[in-house]
Structure 1
């Protein structure tokens, strides 16, 4: 049987997901994806921001400081939603991916296809949320338009992590452990305050978190603070995502062989 070229049929997985979701428009997808970060922006960025004023040492309104972090978080969550529970159901109970093995599609193509679809969903989320923060007047620099393309690195990194987690999950309850990791990271990875508030040793731990680098990349572009440091943030996400993608592909290959 001939094999599919390039990514082993990844584009077919994307097309299949587009067909399944054809009843929902991109704007509907964006609306549901940005609902939660908008609530955070209103409650903390605008509400608490009225008490905080400008962020010390950064000299921007608190809402403008929080908004790009929530943009990164929104794109992260969109990618994770697509690559954890939904993928796990198709991987174990529906055995959807097993049925694809009778076609020329490869395991590599399945993993890449789901990752591309997760990135596409994250892109819609990013565009939607950027439009929201622009409407609130929280865009501080023309570089902000690059925060969404840069956010695709966030989607890649956390989407790959989600695919690896789905491969190792032993049941639906396993994703509670994912949330056990994601929630503290969301709260402490400088989403709502700068890293300078931490003591030196805590700061080192925070700067090792992947979400910290996603937020720094998004915030740097949104605030116009563009420099070599953003390349390091991007490189971290590429390496983290690459490692997670390799883990996911290896694990899926094992599961497909059963």
Structure 2
């Protein structure tokens, strides 16, 4: 009589990876959707960074003069991580939560709400990170990476994706219908346009500049821009601390909200 093989329970991270694997399998037939998140910032770069760049010779940034396209490109890198994380952590999570009832099914297993939160955020990281890595290759091909500091641009983009994935997933738990996503657009578009993506933050004065500098996408933009141009300052340290704290808060809030929605 053969001895029984002991059943070893999954760790929390292994459980989260199972949810990541489930998402990867479900996207096998929808791989073209990944192209949209990559092409949008590339097209912006070509139309604005290169097109408008013919009219604007250069910008002064952290004591050095850089072409306009090199100024815009890292902003679009941060925006690609932002958009990838936002799309996956809002629309997709809402569908799974309210219509597919996927998380109710998952909780019928030994998995916990923290495993769901980690798994979805990790998947958002994979999706946003793939956009950012591809965009960095475009920047490299166009000659927009002038420093070895640019090697840290991909981890920076992943940090941006982590922060927005966690917070956006938490906010999605309060949404009741698809019409609520208009509020996401109301926040997404102004943040994209006015986070010093296309022009320096010095264009703003007084309280308006302070507000812009407090927005999470601006922190991501300044971090990516300082790394790709090889001019890191204390602003990059502030951005890292800001985004790490934002992600931690979002993860904690997501777990609390899932506990309330699914376990009570």
TM range (shorter): over 0.9
Q: 1:42 aligns with which of 41, 46, 59?
A: 46
1:146-167 Cα shifts (integer Å, max 9, x gaps): 1111111100111012211210
1:44-87 Cα shifts (integer Å, max 9, x gaps): 10011110110145410000000001001001111111111111
1:245 and 2:251 equivalent?
A: yes
Aligned residues: 256
1:126 and 2:132 equivalent?
A: yes
Taking structure 1 as the reference length, the TM-score comes to 0.94
Which stretch of structure 1 is more off in the superposition, 5-14 or 47-56? 5-14
Query: In structure 2, do the counterparts of structure 1 residues 53 and 248 end up closer, same or farther at CA, with 3 Å as the change threshold?
Result: same
**1:227 CA displacement:** 2.9
Please tell me the root mean square deviation across aligned C-alpha atoms, in Å: 1.8
Q: 1:208 aligns with which of 214, 219, 229?
A: 214
Taking structure 2 as the reference length, the TM-score comes to 0.92
The unaligned stretches of length 5 or more in structure 1 are none
Please identify the structure whose Cα radius of gyration is greater.
2
Alignment-derived partner of residue 155 in structure 2 = 149
Q: 1:79 aligns with which of 85, 88, 103?
A: 85
Alignment-derived partner of residue 105 in structure 1 = 111
Alignment-derived partner of residue 4 in structure 2 = none
Q: Is this contact kept in 2: 1:150–1:217, CA < 8 A? A: yes
Which stretch of structure 1 is more off in the superposition, 205-214 or 238-247? 238-247
Which stretch of structure 1 is more off in the superposition, 50-59 or 9-18? 50-59
Q: 1:188 aligns with which of 194, 205, 209?
A: 194
The unaligned stretches of length 5 or more in structure 2 are 1-7
1:255 and 2:252 equivalent?
A: no
Matches within 5 A, 1:145-184: 145-184=151-190
Which stretch of structure 1 is more off in the superposition, 2-11 or 16-25? 2-11
Cα distance in 1 for partners of 2:190, 2:229 equals 25
Secondary structure of 1:139's aligned partner: coil
Cα distance in 2 for partners of 1:8, 1:30 equals 25
Secondary structure of 2:173's aligned partner: helix
Q: Is this contact kept in 2: 1:30–1:128, CA < 8 A? A: no
Cα distance in 2 for partners of 1:35, 1:74 equals 9
**1:228 CA displacement:** 3.0
**1:24 CA displacement:** 5.7
Cα distance in 2 for partners of 1:232, 1:186 equals 20
Cα distance in 2 for partners of 1:149, 1:77 equals 16
Cα distance in 1 for partners of 2:82, 2:185 equals 13
**1:127 CA displacement:** 0.8
Alignment-derived partner of residue 11 in structure 1 = 17
Secondary structure of 1:59's aligned partner: strand
Query: In structure 2, do the counterparts of structure 1 residues 8 and 251 end up closer, same or farther at CA, with 3 Å as the change threshold?
Result: farther
Cα distance in 1 for partners of 2:241, 2:228 equals 19
Which stretch of structure 1 is more off in the superposition, 188-197 or 4-13? 4-13
Q: 1:54 aligns with which of 42, 54, 58?
A: 58
